[in-house]
Amino acid sequence: MAKESFNAPKPYTLRLDDQLLDVTKQKLRLARFPEEQTDVGDDDWSQGAKVKVVKRLAEYWADGFDWRAARINADFNQFLVKVNIPGYGPQTLHYAHQLSSRPDAIPLLFVQGWPGSFLEARKIIEPLTNPSDPTTQAFHVVVPSIPGFGPGEAPTKSGLGPMLTARGFNTLMVDVLEYNQYVTQGGDWGTMITRSMALQFPDHVRACHHNFFPCGPPPWYKAPFTMGRLILSPYLYTNRELKSLENMQYYRKEQDGYLRVQSTRPQSLGFGLGDSPVGLLGWLVEKFHEWMDVANYTMPDDEILTFVMMHWMQGATPGLRYYKMAFAEEGAFSSKDCFNRYLGTPIGLSNFPNEIAVPPYDWVAWVANVQFRREHDRGGHFAAVECPELLVQDLRDWFSSEVVKRAMQG
């Protein structure tokens, strides 16, 4: 067999082995479920995923859900390409690439996070590439999978965290697709990856947009007024800032257990979640419920299961392991440190009320050249899924601005 060439994309069709689908259904039918405690209310998720919700989804997965009806191949033009990632080595990337017919279209890289996948872009690709109004900014949209998050090749050796993923994705954009200048949109891990890209490759990444920006406050000795404002936050913060601070504190107190396990012993967790579809379902459903604005968006069962399948097909462990790789990275471009320095690349921010981390603007301004901000009254961590029309409008408005036009010409 001929050696696979670098930087030579090949069309890809996502297919799952019938044996995996059959075994999955068998495992679902044999699952053992925990019992809810009698004093825990039907809508109380404080102990984790609700048994009745997971059980209903598992039964539907086993006897009703049709994976082949997910129409992923119809909605995404998918490719595989082998690239050489500086500091890591060869890695095959999966990505979707949708071209606009518009000559003025801007190349846009969309990067998701965990427990999502490239499927998060499903509702925004068409309006971004082919807006109905000819005066509206259009984009060539590129949606890579973080290696191990769904289709494509999971990393076979350690070390591939956000900093090196950033190098791989820049290679994809510049060397494979020949977009010498482009803009980015990131949420969750996508924020860390695209910010690292802008730090490492400022000549290529000309502007960024984020719907998640998990920076902390600046050191008190550098920003005494910012720290004083935090200390006096009950009196000086707006109601929205106070609510965001409450969300961050709640996350640290009640919700970050997954992060501690996945960043330390992901493989131990992988034995359970990679073998039990119900285990993985419960682990992810709780995140969808807690991090979405469930008062304004109900995730359909088919959408939940299709998202879960992206991690089930890889045996779950690669997605869990990414946290370990991220926290092991060192240096100014790593996910741990990339928010500790100022980035001059123009930044746009969209803030959604149920996002797990929306720091006050005076924190963000210390590390980011924010030129566009918009606050929304609905939406959560998965903006492209929950309220795609809001995110699409923000991307159009920000990337068509004079600031970005000048950056693209620079």
pLDDT tens digits, the chain, 410 residues: what are they?
356 799 999 999 999 999 999 999 999 999 999 999 999 998 999 999 999 999 999 999 999 999 988 899 999 999 999 999 999 999 999 999 999 999 999 999 999 999 999 999 999 999 999 999 999 999 999 999 999 999 999 999 999 999 999 999 999 999 999 999 999 999 999 999 999 999 999 999 999 999 999 999 988 898 999 999 999 999 999 999 999 999 999 999 999 999 999 999 999 999 999 999 999 999 999 999 999 999 999 999 999 999 999 999 999 999 999 999 999 999 888 888 889 899 999 999 999 999 998 999 999 999 999 999 999 999 999 999 999 999 999 999 999 999 999 999 97
Q: What's the rounded Cα separation, in Å, for the pair 95 and 46?
A: 36
Q: Exposed, middle or buried: residue 333 (CB in 10 Å: 0-12, 13-18, 19+)?
A: buried
pLDDT attached to residue 357: 87
189 closest CA partner among 80, 110, 84? 110
CA dihedral 117, 123, 124, 126 (to 10 degrees): 120
Q: Which amino acid is at 338?
A: C
pLDDT attached to residue 410: 77
pLDDT attached to residue 260: 95
Find the largest Cα–Cα distance for the chain. Answer: 69
pLDDT attached to residue 363: 93
In eight-state DSSP terms, residue 211 is S
Backbone angles phi, psi at 337, to 5 degrees: -110, -10
Query: How many Cβ atoms are within 10 Å of 92's Cβ, its own excluded?
Result: 15
> 359-381 burial, b for 16+ CB within 10 Å, e for fewer?
bbebbbebbbeebbeeebeebbb
Task: Pull the structure tokens for residue 346.
Answer: 């123009």
Q: How far is CA 247 from CA 291, 312, 387, in A?
A: 10, 29, 20
| Pairing of the two strands 205-210 and 182-186 | parallel
Backbone angles phi, psi at 6, to 5 degrees: -80, 150
Q: Which residues pair with 369 in a beta bridge?
A: 346
Q: Which residue is listed with tokens 């779950």?
A: 316
Q: What's the rounded Cα separation, in Å, for the pair 333 and 293?
A: 32
Sheet with 78-85, strands from edge to edge, namely 10-12, 78-85, 89-98, 139-144, 106-111, 182-186, 205-210, 343-351, 368-375
User: Helix count (H) and strand count (E) of the chain?
Assistant: 18, 9
Query: How many Cβ atoms are within 10 Å of 41's Cβ, its own excluded?
Result: 9
124 closest CA partner among 137, 112, 141, 107? 141
Q: How far is CA 82 from CA 85, 93, 157, 200, in A?
A: 9, 6, 16, 21
Q: How far is CA 243 from CA 250, 330, 356, 389, in A?
A: 10, 33, 11, 24
Q: What's the rounded Cα separation, in Å, for the pair 62 and 84?
A: 40
